[in-house]
Amino acid sequence: MTKTLLLLAFLFLIAATASAQTPPPDVNNPTKIEWTASTDHATIDGYTLDIVSSTNVVIQTLDLGKPTPDANNLCTANLNVQPITFGAGYYVTLKARANNVFSTATVSQNKFNRVPGAPTKPVVK
């Protein structure tokens, strides 16, 4: 019985670990970004986001300001990827900023794609 319980606990632990490591799916044309506030949120000036290409080149840097965390300590900011070339495999890095000092960058859990928007519904005349 003890061996069975230990085996079940071990299998549950493996399943929980595997599911926690699965990244969210890629997103097409994202409009928002969400992150857990810095532990120093009260004393920092804001957050800086880099949009990085699939070849690991920073192509755009955005100042996200200092959004107020929600009840779950999550910050949300609007994200506009319109000026970015169409393509796949973009990702973002995020840093907390205090004056000219930056935290270590955190890398997004998922990637995103910039795809053309769909045309309006055509009208046959």
Mean pLDDT for each consecutive 10-residue tract of the chain (125 residues)?
38 42 85 95 96 94 96 94 89 96 95 93 93
**Hey, where are the domains in the chain?**
29-114
Entry pTM: 0.75
CB-count exposure of residue 112 (10 Å: 0-12, 13-18, 19+): buried
**CATH number 1.10.260.40 given to 29-114:** no
Contact 64, 80 (CB under 8 A): no
What is the model's pLDDT at position 95? 97
pLDDT of the residue at 64:
96
Q: What is the pLDDT of residue 83?
A: 84
Q: Judge residue 113's burial from the number of C-beta atoms within 10 Å of its C-beta, 0-12 exposed, 13-18 middle, 19 or more buried.
A: middle
